[in-house]
Amino acid sequence: MRASRAIALLLLLQNRRAMTAADLAVELEVSERTVQRDVAALAEAGVPVYAERGRGGGYRLVDGYRTRLTGLERAEAEVLHLAGLPGPLREMGLAGQALAARLKVAAVVGDAPAAAVQRFHLDAPAWFREAATPPLLPEVSRAVWEERVLHARYGSRERRLEPHGLVLKAGQWYLAARGPSGRMASYRVDRFETATVTEDRFDRDQDFDLAAYWDTSAREFARAMLRERALVRLSPLAVENLAILLEPAAAADALATAGPPDGDGWVTVTLPLESWEIGYFEILRLGPEAEVLQPSALRTRLAEATRRAAALYG
């Protein structure tokens, strides 16, 4: 039996008084058979744990027994800062440390952490979007925590990165890392094709402030992705809802270029787009509230989409 799992099982019973094998299996992410073996091992080691049968039964500790195994390890103490992010912790591969830390804190201060969890919860992903967990996130996260050089393939290039921090923005993970040039840059984790944590450590910039960096770079990063430009007429309704329907930075930049309204109240703007393909679908969301004037290829494609839609709806 792993020592960390034994401690977690013992602290679960201490904090909750009684738990079934099924409940323990869910918490520890093991099978019920494994829970039964672990409980038997604890009993053989002298821990006063017993099984109570019947309705409301389960495994219990003898009344009054309390363990002193509450010292926090470094990794457990660090993840306490992320205790309100259960989903992201699982995605980064830190759920085990988070559970152990919560249980050790609860063993000292009682039910206060549980009370906080029942009153505050942070749901990071944006509405109406299912953000898939990047498969390489645990590796990237480990490089961040252990301050190790990351060799990665991003796009078509191999890169040597010194990962300083991870940011979760509306369900999307970004890595802040220093590249060979010595400059800090942002990378979308789901776009890493490979990511290998090396044994090499790097000298972390002690003055680096992740929150401040992200605050200033996020706007630049979003605008850097908007490489294309389309000339578009917008109805008053489109203008009113542009920031809701499109990426906020793109909407703000577009509205800043708006000229005076025409006789129908429409305005002409220069709309930034990440690509023509993405722009096609974004402008489709505006429906009849937008008219693309330039480029002609995008206008032609949207006109064809409009004809097909009209045919579908008769």
Question: 109-121: per-residue pLDDT in tens?
Answer: 455 445 544 555 5
CB of 74 closer than 8 Å to CB of 27: no
- d(CA 285, CA 273) in angstroms, rounded, equals 14
pLDDT of residue 109: 45
Helix axes 3-16, 21-28, angle to 10 degrees: 130
Q: What is the mean pLDDT of the chain?
A: 81
Q: Collapsing DSSP states into helix, strand and coil, what is residue 272?
A: strand
For 154-171, what is each residue's pLDDT tens digit? Answer: 988 899 999 999 888 877
* Residue pair 103/12 in contact by the 8 Å Cβ criterion: yes
**C-beta contacts of 181-186 below 8 A and 24+ residues apart:** 184/208, 184/213, 184/217, 186/214, 186/217, 186/218, 186/221
pLDDT digits (tens, 9 = 90+) for 215-228: 888 777 777 778 89
pLDDT of residue 77: 46
pLDDT of 206 higher than 90: no
With cut-offs at 50, 70 and 90, classify the pLDDT of residue 124.
low
Burial class of residue 74 (count of CB atoms within 10 Å of its CB; 0-12, 13-18, 19+): exposed
pLDDT at 108: 47
Q: Is the dihedral of CA 243, 246, 250, 256 positive or negative?
A: negative
> CA-CA distances (angstroms) from residue 238 to 77, 176, 274, 304?
49, 35, 19, 21
| pLDDT at residue number 220 | 77
Amino acid in position 221: F
User: What's the chain's length in residues?
Assistant: 314
Share of residues in the chain with pLDDT > 90 (%): 34
- The identity of residue 12, as a single letter, is L
Q: What is the pTM of this model?
A: 0.49
303 closest CA partner among 270, 279, 280, 271: 280
pLDDT of 48 reads 86
3-state secondary structure of 14: helix
Specify the pLDDT at position 290: 94
Beta-carbon contacts of residue 261 (< 8 Å; ≥ 6 apart): 236, 267
Predicted confidence at residue 97, as pLDDT, reads 60
Report the pLDDT value the prediction gives residue 248, as an integer from 0 to 100: 81
Spatial distance between the Cα atoms of 225 and 211, rounded to a whole number of angstroms: 21
Per residue in 251-270, pLDDT (tens digit) is 989 999 998 999 999 999 99
Q: What is the pLDDT of residues 184-203, one digit of tens each?
A: 988 999 999 999 999 999 98
Lowest mean pLDDT among 85-99, 127-141, 258-272: 85-99
